[in-house]
Amino acid sequence: MKIVIIGGGASGLMAATAARETNPTAEIVILEKNEAIGKKLLLTGGGRCNVTTGLDDIQAVLKHYPRGAKFLTSALHRFPPAATRKFFEKQGVPLKTEADQRVFPQSEDGRDIVHVFTKLFARSQITVKNGATVERVEKTPDGFLLQLRGGTKPLTADHLIIATGGQAYRQTGSTGDGYAFAESLGHSLTDLHPSLSNLKTQEKWPAKLSGVSFARARLMVSKNKKLAQLGPFLFTHRGISGPAVFALSALIAKEKITAQQPLKINIDLFPDESNEKILTRLQMLIASAKQRAFCNVLAELIPKSLAQLACGELQLNPTSHSAEISKKDLRRLTDWLRAIPLHITDRTAGEEFVTAGGIELTEVNPSTMESKLCPGLFFTGEILNMDGFTGGFNLQAAWSTGHLAGTNAAK
C-alpha cells in the first residue's frame, strides 16, 4: 500500500505518524512545497507553539469551535488533548500548562515540536519530499495520480490524504491549493473567511493607546449579545488585538466588513460591575482628592493614557479640579467605559490566523475523515470547514483529524 500526504503541516505530520503506527509496511510519502516541514507550526503562539489545550472534558473542548464542533466529536474522542500531550512527552518534549490552559513545550520553542516528526520519520522510513509542489490530482481506477511542478515524474498513490491547510499565512505555503484539488475530485467548498484575526478600526485613537492591555473585558457587536466575547484584549497601532478579539473575530468571520460598511462593536471595561458601582468608585476617588486634576484622579481607575483620551472623547476638561465635574458628566463617563464604541473596518493576521470555511463537512465521514464522494481520499485539518478559538484548539483539531485520517488510510 502506498499513501501520499499533500502537506507537511501539523495534520499531515500526524497523519503520517498514525499511518505508520497502523501499517508498518506501507509506503508513506509526504509532499511539502516548502523547503522544510512544519513552517506554520513555528509561527503559532508567537513561536512558542501552543500545542494543545489543558482541558480534558471533550464537551468543554468542543465549545471552543464556532464551526465544525459536531463533526469533530469522533476525532476528539479518539485522539483527545490528553493523547496529544502524552504523545509529545513520550517523544521527549516536556510540556507545560499555563493558567489559561494553553499548553506549550517547556522550552517555549516550536522547533522542538517539529523535530519530533523529523526524528520519527527518519526512524520509521517515512519519505518527505520538500520543495514538491503538486499541480494536479486525478482519480484513477487503481487510486490517484499526482502531477508535480517542474516536469517531475508523476506519483501514484493507493490512498491520498490532503492536508494542505487553509489560505491563512500564505507565506508559509497555505495558499489554498488543496481546495482546487478537492473540487477537481468532486467536492464542494463553503465560503472562505479569515478567523482569529486582529481587528482594524475606523477610529485612529487606538494608536495613542497602543500596547495598553486589559485582563478582562467584554467585546460585543452592538445590539447583538450572541456575538460577544469575554477575556483579555489590548489596543494596537491599528485597532485591537488579544484573545477576546481573536475569539470575537471567529464569531464574526462571515460578516461583511469594509471601510464603507464598518461593523460597530462596544467594549465594556468593567464587565463584572454595575454602572452604579463604578460611579460610586469614581465619586469616592473624587471625594478624597477634590483639588486634583480630574484626569489624574480618573487615572486611579483606568490607565492614564485612556483617562486622557476619555476626557477628549467626552469633552471633559482634564485639568479641572475633580470636584468640578458634574454627576451628569460622571454618568456619561461611566456609560462610555461600559460601552466604548469602535467601528471595525478590516481584519489583519494574528498569532493564530486561520481560515473559516472549507470542504463541505457533509461530504466527509467524521468517523474516518474519508471522502464520501471519492473512495481512498482523506482530508485533515484546516482545509475542512471547521475552526476553533485561540488557545491550542486549532492545532488540536489538526492532531485529531490527522491521526484519524492516517489510521484509516493505512488500514
Asked if 72 and 401 count as a contact pair (C-beta separation under 8 A), the reply is yes
Greatest Cα pair distance in the chain? 87
Shared-domain flag, residues 261 and 272: yes
Shared-domain flag, residues 259 and 275: yes
Of the residues 356, 375, 400, the one at which a domain ends = 356
DSSP β-bridge partners for residue 379: 162
DSSP H or E run through 398: helix 393-409
Strand duo 213-221 + 159-162: pairing: unpaired
Shared-domain flag, residues 396 and 306: no
User: What pLDDT score does 352 carry?
Assistant: 52
User: What pLDDT score does 350 carry?
Assistant: 59
Spell out the residues 6+ positions from residue 123 whose beta carbon is closer than 8 angstroms to its own: none
User: What pLDDT score does 319 carry?
Assistant: 93
Shared-domain flag, residues 161 and 257: no
| 391 backbone φψ class: left, alpha, beta (φ>0; ψ -120 to 50) | left
Shared-domain flag, residues 254 and 384: no
DSSP β-bridge partners for residue 14: none
Set of cell numbers at residue 240: 485591537
Strand duo 2-6 + 159-162: pairing: parallel
Hey, is 236 helix, strand or coil? coil
Spell out the residues 6+ positions from residue 137 whose beta carbon is closer than 8 angstroms to its own: 6, 144, 145, 146, 147, 160, 181, 184, 185
Of the residues 356, 376, 391, the one at which a domain ends = 356
Shared-domain flag, residues 145 and 185: yes
Query: How many angstroms separate the CA atoms of 67 and 388, rounded?
Result: 7
CATH of the domain at 220: 2.40.30.10
> What residue has cell string 500545542?
51
Of the residues 317, 334, 356, the one at which a domain ends = 356
CATH of the domain at 63: 3.50.50.60
Query: How many angstroms separate the CA atoms of 116 and 71, rounded?
Result: 28
Shared-domain flag, residues 181 and 214: no
Shared-domain flag, residues 311 and 362: no
User: What pLDDT score does 393 carry?
Assistant: 96
Q: What is the DSSP annotation of 104-172?
A: EETT--THHHHHHHHHHHHHHT-EEEET--EEEEEEETTEEEEEETTSPPPEEESEEEE----SSSGGG
Shared-domain flag, residues 178 and 48: yes
> What residue has cell string 506519483?
155
Instruction: Give every strand in the sheet of 52-53, ordered side by side.
Output: 52-53, 102-105, 95-97
Query: How many angstroms separate the CA atoms of 403 and 79, rounded?
Result: 7
Domain that holds residue 221: 193-356
Shared-domain flag, residues 349 and 367: no
Strand duo 239-241 + 228-235: pairing: antiparallel
Nearest to 15 by CA among 403, 365, 395, 371: 403
pLDDT tens track for 172-210: 445 678 999 999 999 999 998 888 999 999 999 999 999
Buried b (16+ CB within 10 A) or exposed e, 368-407: bbbbeebebbbbbbbbbbbbbbbbbbbbbbbbbbbbbbbb
Nearest to 115 by CA among 91, 140, 80, 139: 91
Torsion angle, alpha carbons of 362, 144, 405, 173, to 10: -90
> How many structural domains does the chain have?
2
Shared-domain flag, residues 206 and 328: yes
Please, is 258 exposed, middle or buried when counting C-beta atoms within 10 Å of its C-beta (0-12, 13-18, 19+)? exposed
* Per-chain mean pLDDT for the chain: 94
Query: How many angstroms separate the CA atoms of 210 and 231, rounded?
Result: 18
Set of cell numbers at residue 261: 460598511
Flag residues of the chain having pLDDT under 50.
170-173
pLDDT tens track for 117-172: 999 999 999 999 999 999 999 999 999 999 999 878 899 999 999 999 887 554 44
Set of cell numbers at residue 317: 476638561
Shared-domain flag, residues 174 and 262: no
- Number of DSSP helices (H) and strands (E) in the chain, helices first: 12, 17
Buried b (16+ CB within 10 A) or exposed e, 61-84: bbebbbbbbebbbbbbeebbbeeb
